[in-house]
Structure 1
Amino acid sequence: MQPDDHDDEAEDRAWRAIVENYGERPELDDPPPVSDAPFGGRFGDPRAFSPDPGQDPAAGVGEAGEPPGAVEEEGYVPPPPPPLPRVEPDRMLAWVGVFGSPTVLLIALVLSLSIPFWLGYLLVAGFVGGFLYLVVKMPREPRDPWDDGAQV
């Protein structure tokens, strides 16, 4: 008998003792009621939301999922969104340097294209220069700690 076998047998006996003496199991008087609702009623009965109690909620659904007979009462139409802000040309050039230069270098590397040294140095300088420009143009004042950017 090896020491590992003794440890395994002792461990199995300990687990069996724990399982056998776990505790008394409760006796259930009545079985739980069975519902005729979908999924046994665990997720609610969708038939409760139909205007006609005998009607299936999926039958006769109108456009965009509204129930039959739904009428737009007020006809709210949201205002058109404001136009997207324009990026200044200098910042756009900086972003092109930050994202475009590594992209060109990565494509050249993956496709095994040889680029002249001066173009490689120019792409690296474009990346570093664009990054530094964007860092310098960042706002210096701290943001309001309660400002999450939402506007009402």
Structure 2
Amino acid sequence: MAREDDQESADLARERELEWQQIVENFGERAVLDPEDVAPVEPEPVGFEREDDDEPSAGDQVPLDEEFVPPTPPPLPRPPLDRLLAWCGVFGVPALVLVCIVAGISVPSWFGLLLAAAFVGGFGYLVMKMSDEPRDPWDDGAVL
């Protein structure tokens, strides 16, 4: 709020108030244009058209025998059998339990305990096999 003794801030406040009053008074009114003032707009062509006198450049056509063919990727690495069984326990057991629940299959209690032991054992084995040494702070995990 402007002080009475500060003349510039009082003038500025009055100007702002007048501007807001004009905005509020003109709110909702639309400008009416005469039809003569509006020029018709022709749509521009969307695609690129090449003129007939242009010759194709060397980069436009690539011979088929010179196309890049990527090398075949190496096969996926296979984990050792112990880690593979641990991962199957961690991911396979919940998937099997979910399928049994959705299908409405009830399993014996000893089988449920065996599944729980497989999950906990697989998770514990993977945690046990983790490295205790800290990683290099500049190592982002990328292998080239």
What TM-score does the superposition give when structure 1 sets the normalisation length?
0.53
Rounded to whole Å, the distance in 2 between the matches of 1:102 and 1:148 is 31
| Corresponding position: 1:135 with 2:132 | no
- Aligned partners of 1:136, 1:75: CA distance in 2, in Å? 49
Match of 1:93 among 69, 85, 95: 85
Q: Deviations over 1:102-136 (max 9, x none)?
A: 12222222222221111000000100000011111
In terms of mean alpha carbon deviation, does 105-114 or 92-101 score higher? 105-114
Deviation of 1:94 (Å): 0.5
Amino acid at match of 1:126: A
Is residue 2:44 matched to residue 1:36? yes
CA distance in structure 2 between the aligned counterparts of 1:37 and 1:111, rounded to whole angstroms: 58
Counterparts of residues 67-78 of structure 1 (less than 5 Å): 68-71=60-63, 75-78=67-70
| Cα 1:86/1:35, change in 2 over 3 Å | same
Unaligned runs of 5+ in 1: 1-15, 23-30, 39-45, 56-66
Letter in 2 for 1:70: V
Q: Which amino acid aligns with 2:107?
A: I
Structure 2 unaligned blocks of 5 or more: 1-19, 27-38, 53-58
Q: Which residue of 2 aligns with 1:113?
A: 105
Q: Number of aligned pairs?
A: 108
Which residue of the other structure, out of 65, 76, 81, is the alignment partner of 2:73? 81
1:54 counterpart (22, 39, 51): 51
Which of the two has higher C-alpha Rg?
A: 2
* Aligned mates of 1:137, 1:110 — CA distance in 2: 34
Distance 2:96 2:117 in 1: 13
Q: Distance in 1 between matches of 2:66 and 2:137?
A: 38
CA distance in 2, matches of 1:124, 1:151: 36
Deviation per residue, 1:29-51 (Å, 9 max, x gap) = xx9xx88353xxxxxxx73xx8x
